[in-house]
Chain A
Amino acid sequence: MDAVTTTPALDAASLLRLGDNALILGQRLSELCGHGPVLEEDIATTNIALDLIGQARLLLALAGQREGRGRDEDALAFLRDAADFRNVTLVELPNGDFAQVMLRVFLMSSFQVLAWEALSGSNDADVAGIAVRSVKEARYHAEHSGEWVIRLGDGTDASRARMLAALDALWPYTAELFVDDAVDAAAAAAGTGVVWASLQPTWRQRVEPVLAEATLPVPAATPFRSRGRFGVHSEHLGHLLAGMQQLHRAHPGATW
């Protein structure tokens, strides 16, 4: 075969990890559509869900192309089983109360801002394009959820107790965001991906001032590492997928 100049391309596995993070958090937030504490916040949360599902479509469509097995974004979203998903465990945990919902969006989107900023400089033009578009959305998600972290943390005794409980529940799962494996290392070496561990100090610089303003403590690090990105999920993902995939599996190719 003739040697051709290969354009730098992020591999399908890395794209799945990015796309699944967006898809699963988007699905969790969409569960709240119609259940927000007030009408305005209901719309705000649903907007975030739609932004994330939009990002997921672009990333999964690209993953499907790169994979070359004829799977489009719908096949990847609706016809994979839990063990084939590559999202971090943090995004698949049940919503919990409003404090937990907003804290998760804050912790995750603070990470997404950094991820998309870094990927805006990816050698992979398709990925860079998605990143440039997504970083604006992620900045607003972090901003909006951060306002709630501050107000609930530095609010009433009841809201503070809920935010403290949310922090206890979710913080241990953030460690996974900064774990790299061989796939990540290869993508970073090729200039298409990011060394996730390198984002951790900047992430803390974004998150900790908000926690401080919310008068919340920064939880201590623990050795616990969730491993959703490597396909080892909590029991919650299967339940989430049952709801998300049921219609497509019962009525393949259904449209409206």
Chain B
Amino acid sequence: MATDPVTPQAPAGPGARREWPLWEVFVRSRSGLDHRHCGSVHAPDARLALQLARDVYTRRQEGVSLWVVRADDIVASDPDAKPELFDPAADKIYRHPTFYVLPPEVDHM
């Protein structure tokens, strides 16, 4: 059976601690910039995840906007698949747009 490599399995059984779920936190540092991943918080639900992300990650003026997303909902690539996913790109320098001479009109694009 193929197991999903990215979804952490909650500990089962009567002795298992029920932890709050993990939320990944994305902060936009200034208007116009992208939201950037900056860390994670444990929180019981979305509203408190936003509040706790605010308290943990923006207390020194780091942000103007926050996203939180359940870590469980992120589908990630398998770290063990790195050789077939990413290594083949290493020797294909022709994929970099460095072999074209740009006309001067677009120099400052």
Contact = CB atoms under 8 A, between A and B. Distances in A.
Nearest to B48: A147
Contacts of B45: 151
Nearest to A40: B52
A168 interface: no
Contact of A151 (B42, B44, B52, B55): B44
B71 interface: no
Interface string B66-80: 000000000000000
A38 interface: yes
A147 B41 CA distance: 17
Interface string A32-75: 00000011110110010000000000000000000000000000
B47 A43 contact: no
Contact of A44 (B20, B42, B47, B52): B52
Interface in A6-42: 38-41
Contacts of A43: 52, 55-56, 59
Among A40, A41, A43: residue with most chain B CB under 10 A? A40
A200 B55 CA distance: 30
B48 A47 contact: no
B51 interface: yes
B47 A40 contact: no
A47 B51 CA distance: 12
Interface in B5-55: 20, 41-45, 47-48, 51-52, 55
A47 B55 contact: yes
A144 interface: yes
Contact of B51 (A38, A39, A44): A44
B52 A41 contact: yes
A38 B56 CA distance: 12
Interface of A: 38-41, 43-44, 47, 143-144, 147, 151
Given A39-B42, A44-B56, A143-B51, 17 more contacts: A38-B20, A38-B42, A40-B42, A40-B52, A40-B55, A43-B52, A43-B55, A43-B56, A43-B59, A44-B51, A44-B52, A44-B55, A47-B55, A144-B51, A147-B47, A151-B45, A151-B48
